[in-house]
Chains A and B, each alone.
Chain A
Amino acid sequence: MPAFASCGEAIILGLVSGPACIAACGPILVPSLLAEHKGFRPHARYLSVFLAARLLGYMLFAVVAWELGLLASLLPAPRLLLMGVVYVLLAGVLLWYAYSARRSCAQPCADSKLVQITENRNHGVTGAAALGLLTGLNLCPPFVVAGIRAAQMGSMAAALLFFAVFFLGTSIWFVPFVGLGCIVRNQAVITVARMAMVLIALYYLSMGIAMLLGKKAYGY
C-alpha cells in the first residue's frame, strides 16, 4: 500500500511538473525535431528514443547519487560543476547535430531530397539518444524536487520506482511534440532549426563554461 501511495504521489508530481520539464527540454527538443524527417512516425520514433534516454539519465543519476548519499544534499558547488559539464556536452551534441544535418543534405540539395536531411537513419537516433541522456542528467527544478522526495524512500529500489513513475507523469506532456512532425518541411524550416540549434548551443556553452569557472565567473 505505501508503494502504491508513493507511485500515486510520483505520478501526480510528474504531471504537475510536466510544463516545467517541457520548458527545460524545449530549447533542445524543438529545433532538433524540426530538423528531422517530416511525418508522424519518424517524430514518434525520435521522441521515444529521446524519452528512453532521458529515463536512463534519470536512473543513472539516481543510482550514483543514492550510492554517494547525495540525492537530496548535493552541495551547490558540485551541482554547478555537474551542470556545467552537462551544458558543455549538450552544446557539443547540438553543434554536431546542426553540422551533420548540413553534411547529409549537402549532396542532394534539390527539392524534396533536401527535406530528407538524414538519409542515414542512425543520425536521428544517435542524436536523440545523446540529447535525451544529457537532458536526463540536467538538474532542472522538477528533477530536483523528485530527487528530494525519492531520497526519503526506504531503499534504492523504491527511489528508482519513484523516479520511473515520476518520469511517466512528465512524459505525457511531451506527446504533443509529435505534432511538430506535421509542420511542412522546406529549406527554410530546416535552415532555421539548424541555426537555432547553433545559437542555443552557444548559449549552453557559455553558461557551461561560466558554471565550470564558478566563482571566477559569478564573483561569489
Chain B
Amino acid sequence: MATDARTLPLARPAPRGIGWSLLLTLPILVWSLLMFFNPGSSKTPIWIISGAITALFMTTLFFMMMRSRSTYRWRRIFFVSLGVLFPIGFIYNIVVMRGTMGIPVEEMIAGRTPFCFMPIPMLILPAAFTRTLVFPGSIASASHGIAAMVGVWLALTLVMGKGWCSYACFFGGIEEGVAAIPARAKIRKLDPRLRYLPWAVLLAMVLLSLALFEPAYCMWLCPFKAVSEYVAARNLLGLVQNVIFILLFAGLVIVLPFLTKKRTQCSWFCPFGAFQSIFNKISIFEVKIDKERCKPCLVCLNACPNLSLSKESVARGETLLSCMKCGACVDVCPRQAIVWHIKGTEIAWKPERARLMFLYAAWAMAIMFGGSIIAQGIATILHFIV
C-alpha cells in the first residue's frame, strides 16, 4: 500500500548556506542602518555606538534565523533584551526630565507622559461618544503624537495581527525571560478558563474608561507601572494604586512565569493582547497545523508560551485566536506539521516562504519599535560607564 508522503515525518531541514543567509539578511541590514544612522541627523558618539551595537545585534539575530531556519530562540533573545533594556532607558529619561519616577496627576492631565500603546482600546469609545481622547499623553507633539503612533500601530497590526505581542511590545520580554529560567514548569495544570480573563479585563477597562473618562487600566491595573512611572502617592488611594501595580508585576511577570514557564501576564491579563487577537482574523499571516501530518503528541501545547493551543484546536488544525506568532510550536514540532501559512493558500504551500514573508515584516517592525528602545537602553548604560 502506498504511503502518502505528507504522513511521513520529515527530517529537520539542514541549515541554510552562509551565502544565502547573508543575502536574505541584506534587506534587514539596510533597514537597520537606515533606522539607526538616518542621514542628516546629528548624534553624539554614545548614540552612534549604541545604534551600531543595536544594528549589529538585530541583523545578527535575523541572520541566525535565516541560517538555522528556526525562529523562536533568536526572537526570544531580542524580546528579552527589549524587555530588560526598556525600563533602563525609560526610567533614566523620566528621572532626568522629572526628577522622579512618580507621575503627579497634573502632569498626566497636562499630557506630559510618553506614548504607550496599552490604552489604545480604551480610547475608542470615549473618542466615539465625545471626540475626546482620554489618554494622558501629548497629542500635539509632531513626531510622537498619539494620532501618528496610532496610525503606525494600526497599519502594522493589520498586517501582523497579534504578532505585535511577540515582535514589538516592550512589556512582555521580562516575563519571557523569567519563564526561560527554570528547566521544567512547577505548575503544569492550568485552568483553561483563565484564557478568557484578558477579554474580561478588556471589557471592564473599556467600559470603566468610558464611565470615568480616564484610562482605567493605566490608573489601576498596569503591572508595568512598577518598572516605568508609578502614580505619585499623595494619599492613601495613590498608595493602594502603587501596591496593586507592584503585586500584579510580582505575581504575573515574575512568580507565575517562573512557576509555569508561560507568559502569564500576556496570557491571563493583558487587555491590549486580547484586543490584538481580534486582528488575527484580518492578518494574512497565521500558524496552521497540517492535520494529515500531525500525530497529536501535543509537544506544541507545552512549548506554546501563551496558551494559544488546546487539544481541540490542534485537532481542528489551527491555533487559538490569541496566537502571538512567536514560532515556538513551529520550531518544536517533531513532524514539521506546524507551519507558517498565508491565508488563502494551500496549507503545504511553501511554508518557508510564508515564514520569510512574515519575518521580514515582523523584524522590520521589531527594529523600528524594539530596536530604538534597545538602542536607548544601551546608550543609557554607556552613559553611566563612559
Contact = CB atoms under 8 A, between A and B. Distances in A.
Where chain B touches its partner, the secondary structure class is helix
Given A26-B210, A27-B208, A196 B200 contact: yes
Nearest to A210: B237
Contacts of B237: 210, 217-218
Interface stretch (B178-186, B191-199, B297-305): B191-199
21 contacts: A19-B130, A23-B211, A23-B213, A26-B210, A27-B207, A30-B203, A188-B196, A188-B199, A192-B196, A194-B200, A195-B197, A195-B200, A195-B204, A198-B200, A199-B204, A200-B207, A203-B220, A210-B237, A216-B236, A218-B235, A219-B236
Given A23-B129, A203-B208, A193 B216 contact: no
Given A19-B130, A23-B211, A24-B211, A196 B203 contact: yes
Contacts of A22: 129
Contacts of A100: none
Contacts of A194: 200
B383 interface: no
A105 B250 CA distance: 34
A217 B236 contact: yes
A154 to B, nearest CB: 34
Contacts of B211: 23-24, 26-27
Interface of A: 19, 22-24, 26-27, 30-31, 188, 191-196, 198-200, 203, 206, 210, 213, 216-220
Interface residues of B, number: 24
Contacts of B199: 188, 192, 195
Among A194, A199, A203, A219: residue with most chain B CB under 10 A: A199
Nearest to A215: B235
Interface of B: 125-126, 129-130, 193, 196-197, 199-201, 203-204, 207-208, 210-211, 213, 216, 220, 234-237, 240
A31 B235 contact: no
Contacts of B235: 217-220
Contacts of A27: 204, 207-208, 210-211
Contacts of B200: 191-196, 198-199
A19 B211 CA distance: 10
A191 B193 contact: yes
A193 B203 contact: yes
Given A30-B203, A213-B236, A200 B196 contact: no
Nearest to A198: B200
A195 B196 contact: yes
Given A31-B207, A195-B200, 4 more contacts: A23-B213, A191-B193, A195-B197, A206-B240
A27 B206 CA distance: 9
A218 B237 CA distance: 6
A219 B105 CA distance: 14
Given A31-B204, A193-B203, A23 B240 contact: no
B210 A23 contact: yes
A206 B236 CA distance: 12
B197 A219 contact: no
B193 A200 contact: no
Contact of B203 (A23, A24, A192, A217): A192
B381 to A, nearest CB: 38
A193 B196 CA distance: 10
Given A188-B196, A203-B216, A219 B210 contact: no
A219 B237 CA distance: 9
Nearest to B221: A199
> Lowest 8 A-B CB distances belong to which pairs?
A195-B200, A219-B235, A199-B204, A27-B207, A196-B203, A196-B200, A196-B204, A192-B199
